[in-house]
Amino acid sequence: MADHLIQPHGGPLVNLIADRDRQEELRSASRDWPSWTLTHRQLCDLELLLNGAFSPLTGFMTHAAYERVCREMRLPDGTLWPLPITLDVTPDVADQLAIGDQLALRDPEGVMLAVLHVEDRWQLDREEKAKRVYGTLDRRHPAVAHLFERPNVVALGGRVEGLQPPAHYDFVELRHTPGQLRRHFTRLGWRRVVAFQTRNPMHRAHVEITLRAAKEIEANLLIHPVVGMTKPGDVDHYTRVRCYQAVLKRYPQHTTMLSLLPLAMRMAGPREALLHAIVRKNYGCNAFIVGRDHAGPGVDRSGTPFYGPYDAQELVRKHEQELGITMVPFRRMVYVEDRGAYLTEDEVPEGARVLSISGSELRDRLALGHELPEWFTYPEVAEELRRTYPPRHRQGFTVFFTGLSGAGKSTIANVLMVKLLEMGGRPVTLLDGDIVRKNLSSELGFSKEHRDLNIRRIGFVASEITKNGGIAICAPIAPYDRVRKEVRRAIEAGGGFILVHVATPLEVCETRDRKGLYAKARAGLIKEFTGISDPYEVPDDADLTIDTADMTPEESAQRVLLHLEREGYVGPPAP
């Protein structure tokens, strides 16, 4: 490592937390100010502004700063800065503010964390931002999707004064401000520190990479995982931190430490890698590991990666001197079977058999309860992952029946419930259309708005049950495709979702007319009756379609059970 780069423990840090007297002053003045409740992402940004991790930034960017950062990756004074840090709010809040006004920035519980002195406000051009910062309009890029999802279209820029950092109650002993971490390094005698950024659990390959990096430049190692916001679908940070704590024991004593970084990732590839390097320098590190496809958002609509695999390394290398932090580049590591060792891709001998497990393969193995091989990860890490991702036959799931009134949904749902209760092992809750209408949605009618609200409520309860390992059986008509899909997405985030279309034809339902409702609907006595005077949108995503015209309820319930067995949701009884 070049000597000029060994500047122990970073450059100057800004401190935006106001002193006690000023805090009092701000608190009492805030009674007359409008407030903004920060989003999760904005809370993360504010935390890093307040604690100095985003030094030299002293607030949210003005339009001029934003423009120059987008165009040239530089702040107005010429300092390298790769990504815009803006505060965007809804127009109703922006309309209450003029230049020179103050805005109270609050957490979701209403606690005032900071004050924004409004120096600038402008209309955010989302397309422009997406193209310039992320290089794409493709919504598969998580940051682009996020940008277009929000109603916040007015950006406010200006200096920030802090009252208190956002509160954290988890892993408190592993959270440090840049100042605390620098002092800690000094106490430990750590002059050279190389940081490792991650948003995934660490396995053997990661330990190999970090050990090699640390040895190569004779540095201490800081494992610095992001626990603010990462890519949607990532392993939750509670599980990851338990994995990191387990992995920490695999490093030589006194060489390595773990600290959590409350950053909100943008998945902006090369530009994000530069930001990561700046942040690590502020935390007192003088070297930073950049791997293959650093902060990569995955592939676009056509299956092409958004950024080249080594673009991030190139960009950080180009600015290394100016940043004052050394980049330690790494290629992907694979396990070479006959050597019983990890090597980087370019070191693998011709014809050698290499092993690796991709992220999606790992998820599949966990879902099916398959072993995670020892060459891939440590037993302690495998155990943590298995606890969070039990095999499907121990996960929660929802069976969601949809179909016309009288199609047979409730009858099949009842038979299925009894069968699942007989099997035991997981609690079963039946959310039948009529039961829900009596208990959860008694004030609702049958307009599209009310039906959608009814299904959202059912979906919410079912997703809580599923997430917590139970079985929910839902049996509403649920005539609208969009809200059914919304419910599917919510439930699949925490377990299984099986949509069963009970496709009994209208004529059969009407002939049965158990409740006499069809006759009333035909006579115009019941309005908005599904199938008669109201639509039913046939699902195009049903996992199973059942026509009860020629099937008994027992046979229909069996079809569902067999499907659940095939998908792995029900298995043999526990020994």
* Nearer residue to ligand PPS within complex by CB, 264 or 542: 542
Taking CB under 6 A as the criterion, which residues in 524-563 touch ligand PPS?
Answer: 526, 528-530, 534
Give the interface size with ligand PPS as a residue count (CB under 6 A).
Answer: 22
C-alpha–C-alpha distance, residues 520 and 404, integer Å: 15
Considering the complex, state which of residue 43 and residue 478 has its C-beta at the smaller distance from ligand PPS. 478
- Burial of residue 178, with CB atoms counted within 10 A of its CB: 0-12 exposed, 13-18 middle, 19 or more buried: buried
Shortest distance (Å) from residue 445 CB to ligand PPS: 8
Q: Helix, strand, or coil here: 88?
A: strand
Q: How far is the CB of 493 from ligand PPS (least distance, A)?
A: 22
- Nearer Cβ to ligand PPS, position 475 or 544? 475
416-445 positions binding ligand PPS, by CB under 6 A = 433-434, 436-437
Which is closer to ligand PPS, CB of 314 or CB of 528? 528
Q: What minimum distance in Å lies between the beta carbon of 399 and ligand PPS? A: 15
Pairing of strands 256-258, 220-225: parallel
Least distance from ligand PPS to the Cβ atom of residue 569, Å:
24
Q: Is 459 in the site for ligand PPS (CB under 6 A)?
A: no
Q: Residue 429: CA atoms inside 13 Å, Cβ hemisphere, count?
A: 19
Closest CA to 295 of 285, 284, 282, 306: 306
User: What string of H, E and C letters represents the secondary structure of 386-449?
Assistant: HHHCCCHHHCCEEEEEECCCCCCHHHHHHHHHHHHHHHCCCCEEEEEHHHHHHHCCCCCCCCHH
Near ligand PPS by CB under 6 A, which window of 248-256, 300-308, 446-454, 483-491?
A: 446-454
Give the helix, strand, coil percentages of the chain, each rounded to 5. Answer: 40, 20, 40
Asked if 75 touches ligand PPS (CB under 6 A), the answer is no
State the amino acid at position 214 in one-letter form.
A
Q: Residues 290, 243, 142, CA angle at the centre, nearest 5°?
A: 50
Which of residues 291, 479, 494, 496 is near ligand PPS by CB under 6 A?
Answer: 479
Q: Does 477 bind ligand PPS (CB under 6 A)?
A: yes
387 binds ligand PPS, rule: CB under 6 A: no
Nearest C-alpha neighbor of 87 from the set 118, 108, 56, 131: 118
Q: Is 405 in the site for ligand PPS (CB under 6 A)?
A: yes
Q: How far is the CB of 508 from ligand PPS (least distance, A)?
A: 13
- Considering only 446, 497, 518, 569, the residue that binds ligand PPS (CB under 6 A) is 446
Considering only the C-alpha atoms of the chain, give the largest distance between any 2 of them, rounded to a whole number of Å.
90
**Catalytic residue positions?**
198-200
Least distance from C-beta 213 to ligand PPS, angstroms? 56
Six token digits for residue 432: 């039948």
Q: Is 413 in the site for ligand PPS (CB under 6 A)?
A: no
**Residue in this structure with the two tokens 């029946």, named with its chain if needed:** 401
DSSP codes, 143-167: HHHHHHH----EEEEEEEEES-PPP
Q: Which of 406, 408, 459, 470 binds ligand PPS (CB under 6 A)?
A: 406
495 lies in the site for ligand PPS, by CB under 6 A: no
**What residues line the site for ligand PPS (CB under 6 A)?**
405-406, 410, 433-434, 436-437, 446, 451, 454-455, 476-479, 515, 517, 526, 528-530, 534
